[in-house]
Amino acid sequence: MDPQNTHPEAKVLLNHARNLRLHTGNLVDRSRMKKKCPGCPSEELRDCIQATLSDWLSAKKPSAKDIPDTLDCSIPEATDAITPEEREEVKVSVKLFLCESGQSAIRDAVGMACQALAVSQLDSVIIAPPGPPEADGQTLAYLQPAWEELEALVRSQQIAAIGTSDLDKDLLEQLYNWAQVKPSSNQVNLASCCVMPPDLTAFAKEYDIQLLTHNDPKELISADTFQEAVREGAKDLSITEWRLEWVLRYSVIVKSRGIIKSKGYLVSARRASP
């Protein structure tokens, strides 16, 4: 980004905002993101944050009379909203990575996704909660608050189906037996498990839970990498510390053809307390 091309008001807005909301837009159509092929989801997200922030800061902004607490960094022409006519022809699938615990983050992320894509309901949401404080893995008690919030969003018809990520057979069974809205899917990372565990496969088949595969790392993007991406996206600005709250990755799939029509990330961060 050429510092001369940065609109001065953008600098003021970014330096005074308390919250940052970033939308990469449709990556399928963004030619500048095709210059290189990301080696992993973490690298892709990092590149997207940097490029989107750089584009936003370079765009000419109208004068603002006040400085908002929440800054919306998005490129309107890069956003591929879903029209009412095509809604029945596509499936909107989402994976939500929570960087901090908190049910309000789930509601905020789902609401932002619906608004960005111009839909009233997401077809499926898979939750990837933050790692538990202890190193001994997830427990049902740790998952319950996030799952209850997802269930509320199903009841309010903002989500049609909800799923989990990286649960073994025992924990998936505990969640299934406890939950009012049952998990419809469970993602398995084949990097750490090259073959689906037989007990997990048998349980999923019995209770009609779809097993999916993924290659996302346990931590999609570290705090340091996120900070680095923000700094590189705003090269001529003195950027203070930001805390990443959540990352939402969406895919809009054409049902009849099984192809991805659009894909993108939504990111939420807040300014760290001094």
Task: Lay out the sheet containing 242-254: strands in order across.
Answer: 70-74, 19-23, 259-271, 242-254, 90-98, 122-128, 159-165, 185-189, 210-214
Choose the weakest-confidence range: 55-59, 101-105, 235-239, 246-250. Answer: 235-239
Question: 22-54 pLDDT, tens per residue?
Answer: 999 888 876 545 555 556 888 889 998 988 888
Cα dist. 111→5, 60, 105, 148, 153 in Å? 33, 27, 10, 16, 10
The CA angle 40-185-46, to the nearest 5 degrees, is: 20
The answer to whether the pTM exceeds 0.85 is yes
Buried b (16+ CB within 10 A) or exposed e, 36-46: eeeeebbebbb
Residue 112 confidence (pLDDT): 94
In degrees and rounded to multiples of 5, residue 157 shows phi and psi of 65, 25
Choose the weakest-confidence range: 9-18, 154-163, 170-179, 183-192. Answer: 9-18
pLDDT of 246 > 90? The answer is: yes
Residue 85: how many other CB atoms lie within 10 Å: 7
Residue 268 confidence (pLDDT): 94
Cα 85 → chain centroid:
26
Q: Where are the domains of the chain?
A: 3-271
Question: 200-240 pLDDT, tens per residue?
Answer: 999 999 999 999 999 898 889 988 888 888 888 877 565 66
3 state SS of 198: helix
Residue 152 confidence (pLDDT): 97
Tokens of 183: 């998990």
Whole-angstrom distance, CA of residue 194 vs CA of residue 221? 23
pLDDT of 131 > 90? The answer is: no
The answer to whether 250 and 92 have CB atoms below 8 angstroms apart is: yes
Whole-angstrom distance, CA of residue 223 vs CA of residue 176? 32
Question: 253-268 pLDDT, tens per residue?
Answer: 999 998 999 999 999 9
pLDDT of 92 > 90? The answer is: yes
The answer to whether 183 and 175 have CB atoms below 8 angstroms apart is: yes
